Amino acid sequence: MEDTSSEYDFSIIGWKDEEKDRLEGYPLFLMLLFTGGFAHPIPSALGGALWIVGKIAYSLGYYTGDPKKRVRGAFGNLALLTLTGSSIAVAARLLRWR
């Protein structure tokens, strides 16, 4: 009989760690999505969708237990750059810098 308790323990711990990682970045994502959507709604919506797909890919890689597979969701960071740029553009417009 095989001992699968270590696999089970990692899956629960991995799930909790991944959920914690996701929830830490969620308020920033929502704030950038909200503020960037004022001036640039379509790029912000595309960035939001890309961030979600990136988080799904990251989660699926995290659940495997192999650290190299977590990198698959790194493209979600491009979405945060897009959202940050559109939020900065909104701030510049409100401050009449352009």
pLDDT string in tens for the chain (98-residue length): 555 555 555 567 667 777 777 788 899 999 999 999 998 999 999 999 999 999 888 888 877 777 787 788 888 889 999 999 999 999 999 999 86
- pTM reported for the whole predicted model: 0.78
Q: Which spans in 40-98 are helix H?
A: 41-64, 76-94
Indicate whether 72 belongs to any domain.
yes
> How many domains would you assign to the chain?
1
Q: For residues 44, 47, 48 and 51, what is the CA-based torsion angle, rounded to 10 degrees?
A: -160
Q: Which domain holds residue 58?
A: 7-94
Q: Is residue 39 in some structural domain?
A: yes
Query: Which is nearest to 17 in space by CA: 67, 88, 87?
Result: 67
**Does any domain span residue 28?**
yes
Task: Please answer whether residues 63 and 14 qualify as being in contact, where contact means their C-beta atoms are separated by less than 8 angstroms.
Answer: yes
Q: Does residue 56 lie within any of the structural domains?
A: yes
Q: Is residue 50 part of a domain?
A: yes
Question: How would you label 50-80 residue by residue, b for 16+ Cβ within 10 Å and e otherwise?
Answer: bbeebbebbbebbeeeeeeebebbeebeebb
Residue 66 lies inside a defined structural domain of this protein: yes
Task: Report if residue 1 sits inside a domain.
Answer: no
Domain membership flag for residue 2 = no
